[in-house]
Amino acid sequence: MVNWSTLARMNLYVLAAGGAYIALMFALGIPEFQRHYLFLHKIGYPFSPRYEEPHHHGLEPAQARNLQITTDDGIKIGVWHHLPDSLYHQMVGQVDEQNPELPEELYERALREYPTFVYLHGNALNRAAKFRVRTYQLLSKVQNANVIAIDYRGFGDSESFPTEEGVVNDAYAAVKYVREKSRNPDTGKRPALALMGQSLGTGVATQCALRMYREKIPLDALVLLAAFKAIRPMVVEFRMGGLVPLLGWLEYFPFREQIIEKLLHYSFDTQAALTEIVDGHLQPDAMVPPSIVLMHAENDEVIPVRHGDELYESVEKQFNALKRESTYHVWSSNVPDVGFVQAVMHRSAPLPEKKGLLPGARAVLPRNAVMTYIRLEDGGHNHLFDRNADLLPLILPIGLTGLGHAPAVHGPARPDPAKAA
């Protein structure tokens, strides 16, 4: 027998949930709500982090120092400077575990003598999140480089609230800090510099790289982990926690493009930015663009792997890389235990197989390519670098591996079209 009161209550719950969902959809069109939805900057974890003491979050004593830098628009952001692995282990005997710190001059020296990666994280949490700390450690180890990890404005202990322009300003401020501190006063030279972005951070990193390119500031590499083409296609695809498609209903709405155009206040157009950056390879008088590396996992449930596929394919198309008459060619290979690797390379560049295998390496990959795309079989959204960090030294310009202290020449050499013909 039907219990009509129970059924009525259930219908009311369904109607209430539907009404709440519709209200949330309209709320997401308000800039303030949209900011929170995109950045999730109020979701802080670890709770009550001890930024002044990075070793409480999985780092070795004095392996990293905490500092603040001020952006061009006057916002103070929190930063960790993680030392290169070999330099830290040279000095570890001087560290008092009860009061762990190393001289400030050591960190300054590290920036002058070793390459640096500016790491730009994704949305939510902060720079003390465990999986991010793991990235700093691996990056410091495999590249023997400094890692500058920032919290954007509104995240962690950084001031203000995030906007698209603001978080790019934060990344640029980190680059500016590294360039100021890394300059050798005697020679005027600097070690190599790279930007690494993960998830939302790939949009920040690419926009920062574009700003540097336009201002003719050298950048050696741009590493994008789980990149997306732009925010617009992600509006329908994005799943909260990899499960809940909050705006998935728009896919079935006849006027979705017009609705998204009206509602969306952010772009982070990575595809357009990369097109402009890599076009420098085709312009004889342009500054040499950075080497670009894409890594994306096939089992990424947050940003579908087709975003990585399409970003890479757009570069192939831009250079007519598949045509015999092009001065560029495509290298591709199945790499055991990794996945599929593709690269748009200068025609004059030697194939990776001719360069020999590094001791202990699983594979030989293209170095200094226009773009290298590693389509990983595993890694999900947050751990694709953790499980394949050893591939990076095989791809990036040699100056980004801090095996020596001589400052590197920024960027790969531009090919001679006459020799490439």
Averages of pLDDT over runs of 10 residues in the chain (421 residues) are 62 58 54 83 92 94 96 98 96 82 94 98 96 97 97 97 97 98 95 97 98 97 97 67 54 56 81 97 91 97 94 94 79 89 89 72 88 95 91 93 56 40 33
* Rounded Cα distance, 418 and 266, in Å: 43
Q: One-letter amino acid identity for 30?
A: I
Q: Is there a domain that residue 17 lies in?
A: no
Starting from the edge strand earliest in sequence, which strands make up the sheet with 193-198, in order? 64-70, 76-82, 146-150, 116-120, 193-198, 221-225, 291-297, 371-376, 339-346, 328-335
Q: Are residues 207 and 84 in the same domain?
A: yes
Q: Give me the pLDDT at residue 415, please.
A: 45
Q: Are residues 190 and 254 in the same domain?
A: no
Q: Give me the pLDDT at residue 10, please.
A: 63
Phi-psi region of 391 (alpha: psi -120 to 50; beta: other; left: phi over 0): alpha
Q: Are residues 56 and 162 in the same domain?
A: yes
C-alpha distance from residue 331 to each of 310, 336, 342, 349 (Å): 17, 16, 6, 11
Give residue 417's Cα distance to chain centre: 32
DSSP letter for 83, please. Answer: P
Q: Are residues 190 and 211 in the same domain?
A: yes
Q: Are residues 84 and 95 in the same domain?
A: yes
Structure token digits, residue 197: 């972005």
Q: Residue 37: which of 209, 233, 175, 231 has the closest Cα? A: 231
Q: Give me the pLDDT at residue 421, please.
A: 33
* Rounded Cα distance, 123 and 238, in Å: 13
Mind spelling out the 3-state secondary structure of 329-389? EEEEEEECCCEEEEEEEECCCCCHHHHCCCCCCCCCCCCCCCEEEEEECCCCCCCCCCCCH
State which residues form the domain around 252: 239-264
**How many structural domains are present in the chain?**
2
Q: Give me the pLDDT at residue 125, please.
A: 96
Structure token digits, residue 139: 């990056």
* Rounded Cα distance, 111 and 190, in Å: 9
Q: Is there a domain that residue 23 lies in?
A: no
Q: Are residues 180 and 282 in the same domain?
A: yes
Give pTM, 2 decimals: 0.87
Helix (H, G, I), strand (E, B) or coil at 165: helix
Q: Give me the pLDDT at residue 98, please.
A: 73
Q: Is there a domain that residue 33 lies in?
A: no
Which CATH number fits the domain that encloses residue 232?
3.40.50.1820
Q: Give me the pLDDT at residue 244, please.
A: 54
Q: Are residues 260 and 271 in the same domain?
A: no
- The continuous run of DSSP H or E covering 22 comes out as helix 4-27
Q: Give me the pLDDT at residue 239, please.
A: 56
Helix (H, G, I), strand (E, B) or coil at 162: coil
Q: Are residues 256 and 290 in the same domain?
A: no
Q: Give me the pLDDT at residue 13, please.
A: 60
Cβ partners under 8 Å of residue 102, min gap 6: 62, 65, 83, 91, 94, 95
DSSP letter for 400, please. Answer: G
